Amino acid sequence: MFFDNPLLKNWNTPYKIAPFDEIKDDHFSEALEKALAEELREIQAISDNPNPATFTNTILAILKSGKLLNRVLSVFYTLVSADANEQREKLMMEFSPKLAVHSSTITSNEKLFNRIQDLFNRIDSLNLSAEEKRLLEKIYQDFVRAGAALSDKNKEAMKEIQERLSTLGTKFSQNLLADERSWFLELEEKDEACLPDFLIKAAQKAAEEKGVSKPIINLSRSLIIPFLQFSPNRELRKKAQEAWASRGEHGEETDNRPIARETLALRRQMANLLGYTNFAEFKLETEMAKKPENVESLLLQVWKYAKERAQKDQNILAEYMANDGISDDFYPWDWLYYSEKRRQKEHELNEEEVKSYFSLDQMVEAAFYCANKLFGLSFQPVSLPLYHKDCKAWEVTKNGEKIALFIGDYFARSSKRSGAWCSAFQSQAKFPVSQKPIVLNVCNFAKGSPTLLSFDDARTLFHEFGHALHQILSNVTYEPLSGTSVSRDFVELPSQLFEHWLTVPEVLKRFAVHYKTKSPISEKLMERLIGASNYDMGYQTVEYTSSALVDLYFHLEDTEKDVMELQNEILSKIGLPEAIKMRHATPHFAHVFSGGYYAAAYYSYMWSEVMDADAFSAFEELDNPFDANLAKSLEDNILSKGNSLDPEIAYKRFRGSLPKVDALLRGRGLI
């Protein structure tokens, strides 16, 4: 019943967080139906208002609507992605198309759009503040791009497309998770003997969760990548690498290839309805890049240098393989294994030794330390009922004032989708009431006692915490402009920039502490670690850039070709080395096909990296990674502004001018 459903009650909880200890899966269907109906009633009241449109009775009224739905969805989406089960996945399949239709119903409300359009046409005479003007422009643009200005016939077509895309995206995600859950490789004693202890322990824990007696390698990145690095058994590496690379393309129920093909076709139709030549043109119009040719130019410039470096590296690695007495061609399952051998030789880095200095708890504290020194933030652990026993929460204060709640969910499990991400149960806002951000970082680290991270894992933790800082330090009036609600090719700037503080010697000396002896990392090991930070960057850049180029060209093409055929044509055209696979092949390219957020925009990590390389150099120029004045400028001009300010203006205020691609190439050591 309504009054028994905790999702529909006021949350008289600390920080107004969801009462996870009361919420059951059976509560979601009722809550979602009631929340959808409530928002439609609220929207109808705005559109039926007999008074002329004003900023208050239309734009601010829209912001007041849908609060219940947003609250329910923030909980539901978190559970579906971070702790899925059969019932939650069924609910997602049921409600994804309903939510798409709901959104289309609002944006196709002609009377509502007429009110918004009337205000937009009079924007310069409304005496609005800069942020109010930005909000009106954003809402108008969002409605137009959702089809509000189309004819009735085309509005209906748009609604059908969006409904279908929503269903396809949900199915793509669930297929991928199903493939990742189902595959595992049992290890025999002879296979274990050659693996480092941390990997054996992680494989044993994975086996316990699966109910299998022997240690297993599954398709969690925290297991599969170190296995490919350290297993000398070439046949097993081949099995593991091919399983990793073929997720989503096994045919039958979980085959993502037809989903990708239909998704691309529907996106083309949607873009055409809105008057664009292709989906990439539509998508990039609102990004910093603006046009597909600007994205292509960046990616191809980087591709040239990365490919040259990768081919030189491959020749060296092939010699390592020949020294093992293997005269075969060099394949993708050989790269990480021989690259690790080369890394150990050239940089004297042993992964097991490195991991012993990077415990999860210490790296979390390191991130907090940097946030304190840069922005004056303090983090105090708090005990709250959360959605999973592995989650931890911290109260965030600044100058003694509570400003946010931060939650970390760090461990891999079969109910969690792969990857790492930052989301918010609640974003910062001052209207219609003041609300403090409740921010969530989700990762997939192999759980241990203690949990030890690779250097790449630690970098991932800092990356996601950079996103969290963007949310925590947000200081705007309106939630649609808050925190990470910025263009996709700007949103990665704070996250990638924060990664740089992981390699600051002061941070490493203080927090890279051996988990047994408690001794700090030695100067020699620290120097070797920092010196190897760009190691194998040709490989890493090639696997990423090939994915970004495929994504871009997919959304430029006007073709009904099979997606795998088209993918292979693109890879052939750019000359992807045979020993390197795309980071995300089409059937498991969740960034692009699980939803539209990164569609035609996977390049955005690299666009942001051009800025982050340049931005950190500002601290390096002062020879002080914690310079107080520069940190304040970063907070005032970028981290606190959300989308209340054009990102190009925001960056120029911080740095003076936009950087060139050379900043990225130097940062990656490619020139």
Instruction: Give the residue numbers annotated as catalytic, written as ranges.
Output: 464
Tell me how far apart the alpha carbons of residues 263 and 599 are, in angstroms, rounded to a whole number.
Answer: 10
Distance separating alpha carbons of residues 141 and 144, to the nearest angstrom:
5
Residue 375: CB atoms within 10 A of its CB come to 18
Assign 18 to helix, strand or coil: coil
Within the chain, what is the greatest distance between any pair of CA atoms?
A: 83
Amino acid identity, position 587: P
Element (H, E) at 439: strand 438-445
| 90, 93, 99, 100: CA torsion to nearest 10 | 180
Both tokens of 100, joined, read: 């798409």
Alpha helices (runs of H) in 331-446, residue ranges in sequence order? 332-347, 351-355, 360-375
CA distance linking residue 105 with residue 396, whole number of Å: 39
Q: For residue 202, which of 348, 352, 342 has the smallest C-alpha distance?
A: 352
**CA 111 to chain CA centroid, nearest Å:** 36
Rounded Cα gap, residues 324 and 130, in angstroms:
65
The amino acid at 500: H
Tokens of 444: 């997939």
In the block, which residue shows the tokens 């025999």?
188
Rounded Cα gap, residues 601 and 534, in angstroms: 24
Q: Which residues pair with 485 in a beta bridge?
A: none
Is the separation of the CB atoms in 390 and 86 below 8 Å? no
Which of 351, 402, 74 has its CA nearest to residue 202?
Answer: 351
Q: How many Cβ atoms from other residues are within 10 Å of residue 525's Cβ? A: 18
- The candidate with the shortest Cα–Cα distance to 579, out of 305, 208, 186, 317, is 317
Cβ proximity of 653 and 637 under 8 Å: yes
CA 669 to chain centroid, in Å, comes to 24
DSSP secondary structure, 282-314, as one string: HHHTTSSS-SHHHHHHHHHHHHHHHHHHHHHHH
DSSP-assigned letter for residue 556: T
Distance between CA 668 and CA 671 in Å, rounded? Answer: 8
Cis, bond preceding 494 (omega within 30 deg of 0): no
**Taking phi first (over 0 means left), then psi (-120 to 50 degrees means alpha), and beta for anything else, what does residue 328 get?**
beta
